[in-house]
Amino acid sequence: MESMGMLTEEEVKKYQEDGYLVLDGFLDPDECDVLRKKMSEIVDRMDVPEHCRIQFSTDHEEQLKAQGSADYFITSGDKIRFFFEKGVFNEKGDFTVARECSLNKIGHALHAFEPVYKNVTHSQKVQTVVKKLGLKCPVILQSMYIFKQPGIGGEVNPHQDATFLNTEPLGRVMGLWIALEDATLQNGCLWFIPGSHKNGITRRMVRTAKGAFPLTDFVGRERNYDDNLFIPTPVKKGGLVLIHGEVVHRSAENISSHSRHVYAFHVMESQDTLWNPENWLQPSPELPFPPLYT
């Protein structure tokens, strides 16, 4: 992989055929460490959202927690918000683990409001890769820092990103997933079904009617997938995984003593594309989807 992120024709073809592609050494170790250091600073100064502090003593409080959590998620597209692993708070709302080990992810606008992540997202290397794949007017939809905590990092079930980030026509969304630490079989690397991006989607996550609860629901059902079709995809620190919006992928729980930190973001080809108004994620006046190319 050349330093400016140039893709070969063979790599472009492999991405088109398989629906995903690993590019080793996309970032050097020092670049990865800068992203991790900045995230450590963000975690140190984070305010825990109130819905995480609500006790589970009454049905009413459980409902308040559920509504607060749903609203916190659905309005996170233009903010930097904190999403926690299960079981990291006690009945008093206090941490049961170290705060730096409590988080599942932070999202969804790191690319807009944190310069370190913004610089990587708009880097010449990223732009070169995306241009080589033929995107004319890509915009950035969302960004996430994923922790996959040691011992408690949860399983991510088989899914397609287009279920949650839906466009008309399909095939306009791509994920860029950068390993900031080694992603291994033990700590929850990605698994893919090669070629599954050619079969469309059968399920969409949609916003419900205004005033309704829950705030989102699913239309359709996920297919059942043969476990034998999934291919494990370990990635060394600094590697980039390109993920087609319709390729089926998953990750196992982290059973190791090592975390699996990742910076990931999604882009959409905006030319001749309709962003589904039922998607949970919507651009806002404060943050329209920013163009990738600068």
pLDDT at 65: 64
Beta strands 138-146 and 274-275 are unpaired
What pTM, to 2 d.p., does this model score?
0.94
Return the pLDDT at 64: 58
Tell the CATH superfamily of the 9-275 domain: q2cbj1_9rhob like domain (2.60.120.620)
List per-residue pLDDT tens for the chain, 294 residues long. 344 457 999 999 999 999 999 999 999 999 999 999 999 999 999 998 888 876 554 455 566 567 778 999 999 999 999 999 988 998 888 999 999 999 999 999 999 999 999 999 999 999 999 999 999 999 999 999 999 999 999 999 999 999 999 999 999 999 999 999 999 999 999 999 999 999 999 999 999 998 888 999 999 999 999 999 999 999 999 999 999 999 999 999 999 999 999 999 999 999 999 999 999 999 999 999 999 998
Cβ-based neighbour number of residue 32 at 10 Å: 21
pLDDT score recorded for residue 63: 62
- At 233 the three-state DSSP class reads strand
Element at 125 (helix H, strand E): helix 124-132
- What's the pLDDT score for residue 2? 40
Residues 6+ apart with CB under 8 A from 200: 170, 246
What residues have CB less than 8 Å from 142, skipping those under 6 apart? 77, 107, 108, 109, 111, 165, 265, 266, 281
Confirm if 125 and 262 have CB atoms less than 8 A apart.
no
Domain boundaries, the chain: 9-275
Q: Is the peptide bond before 169 cis (omega within 30 degrees of 0)?
A: yes
Alpha-carbon gap, residue 133 to 16, rounded angstroms: 9
Q: Report the pLDDT value the prediction gives residue 19, as an integer from 0 to 100.
A: 98
